[in-house]
């Protein structure tokens, strides 16, 4: 079960249809688990690992959050590839206009997070196979860009996992295994977990291209283990 977002009613419908294949056919990742784990909401199960975060449409709460944290990131809950992600600096007068734009284009709440300066060092995609971290791909933002997604010019490079990143992976592993998630990609900036991607994790081709492991083989090994 892997396709690019949007995570919309078509996607949800496909999860319901694919559920009908069990138990005769193994579906990876499990459709019900994918449906119940939209990445920007699933991560809120681990508040101790996240940067300060707010999910709301309430302008007053957003303004209070900004007053407390200064520079913030505003993004849609179901975006992908960096689309619709805005960096609003302290003192920037465009926040109200941006919220008006979001209110017109999105029915669901928005995600607001404290800006993490460590993003200039990279936003690391860590691939987790069957609960175990196997490789990290750091994505460095282009000059003049707050986003690090490869879709918008982020420069990928293989990166060893730090002790903190392994701690994050170990903390979330039981929840992933409980949901029988075989193929997952998480995003880490500095010491913080920002997303858990289960719908369409990307990065495995780049990891192989830059000398990392062939993760496709590891995925199929995990699939075959379940079939057996």
Query: Exposed (0-12), middle (13-18) or buried (19+): which is 189, by Cβ within 10 Å?
Result: buried
DSSP state of 45: G
Query: Which amino acids are annotated catalytic?
Result: 40, 75, 125, 139, 147, 187, 195, 197
First-to-last C-alpha distance (Å) of the chain: 20
3-state secondary structure of 91: coil
CB contact at 8 A, 190 and 34: no
Query: Exposed (0-12), middle (13-18) or buried (19+): which is 47, by Cβ within 10 Å?
Result: exposed
What phi and psi, each to the nearest 5 degrees, are found at residue 92? -65, 135
Instruction: Give residue for tokens 């206009």.
Output: 97
Cis-peptide, bond into residue 36, ω within 30° of zero = no
Interior angle at CA 43, CA 38 and CA 45, nearest 5: 110
Helix (H) or strand (E) holding 164: helix 163-178
């Amino acid at each position: 079960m892997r396709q690019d977002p949007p995570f919309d009613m078509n996607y949800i419908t496909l999860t319901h249809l694919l559920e009908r294949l069990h138990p005769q056919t193994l579906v990876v990742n499990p459709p019900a688990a994918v449906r119940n784990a939209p990445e920007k909401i699933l991560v809120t199960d681990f508040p101790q690992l996240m940067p300060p975060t707010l999910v709301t449409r309430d302008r007053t709460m957003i303004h209070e959050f900004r007053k407390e944290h200064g520079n913030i990131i505003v993004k849609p809950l179901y975006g992908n590839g960096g689309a619709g992600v805005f960096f609003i600096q302290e003192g920037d007068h465009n926040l109200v206009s941006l919220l008006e734009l979001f209110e017109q284009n999105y029915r669901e709440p928005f995600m607001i997070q404290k800006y993490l300066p460590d993003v200039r060092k990279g936003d690391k995609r860590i691939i987790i196979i069957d609960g175990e971290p196997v490789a990290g791909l750091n994505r460095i933002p282009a000059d003049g860009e707050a986003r690090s997604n490869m879709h918008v010019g982020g420069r990928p490079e293989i990166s060893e996992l730090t002790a903190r990143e392994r701690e994050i992976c170990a903390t979330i592993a039981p929840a992933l295994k409980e949901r029988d998630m075989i193929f997952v990609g998480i995003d880490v900036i500095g010491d913080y977990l920002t997303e858990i991607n289960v719908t369409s994790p990307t990065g495995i081709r780049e990891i192989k291209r830059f000398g990392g492991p062939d993760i496709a083989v590891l995925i199929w090994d995990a699939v075959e283990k379940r079939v057996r």
